[in-house]
Amino acid sequence: MKLIFASNNKNKIKEIKNQLPHGIEILSLEDIGCNVDIPETAKTIEGNALLKADYIKRHYGFDCFADDSGLEVNALNGAPGVYSARYAGEEKNDTANNAKLLQELKDCNNRKANFKTVIALHYKGIQHMFTGIIEGEILEKPQGDKGFGYDPLFKANGITKSFAEMSLEEKNAISHRGKAVKQLVDFLLSVQE
């Protein structure tokens, strides 16, 4: 089975490929010659996942899936949320995003947050959605050098390490994206001929 993953984010592609069983192969946007930065103009994480999947289905005709993820911080009324990648500006700079988040929470005791991933799948003419959420908190300062995005600042409940201190396998076992991808894989295995 081959599916297009509507992304050129090499970190996300690596994380998802790491979870796929033998027999399910994903191709990136680069693999199909799509160099467009698909607009993410929806007001929700679910909406952006759908926009990206719909774009590939409409323009290329392939069965495909897309994801969108966001960090939702309780004290910031769910921000950065759908704007997580561009929190500190359009250039999608992880370091700047992390610095802005720490600044916003500078005098805040409530550091509860969650990471959320939504995967939108187009498969044989039917649309499916899969959601993964992990609860945790924002650390006082970055810890670890693995991962990407807000990983150095996020520690899941009941875990002693930040996401950036975990191996890919450890992170995938508990993360928001890991949970959503597991649902996707379970579905694909259930419909595989």
CA distance 139 to 162: 8
Cα dist from 152 to 1, 13, 61, 138, 161, whole Å = 34, 19, 38, 9, 9
CA distance 49 to 121: 9
Our answer to whether residue 68 is catalytic in this structure is yes
CA distance 185 to 90: 32
Chain centre distance of CA 22 = 22
| Closest among 118, 150, 119 to 137, alpha carbons compared | 150
Candidate list 37, 63, 68, 94, residue with the active-site label:
68
How many other C-beta atoms can be found within 10 angstroms of the C-beta atom of residue 32? 15
| Closest among 116, 6, 83, 1 to 50, alpha carbons compared | 6
| Positions marked catalytic | 68
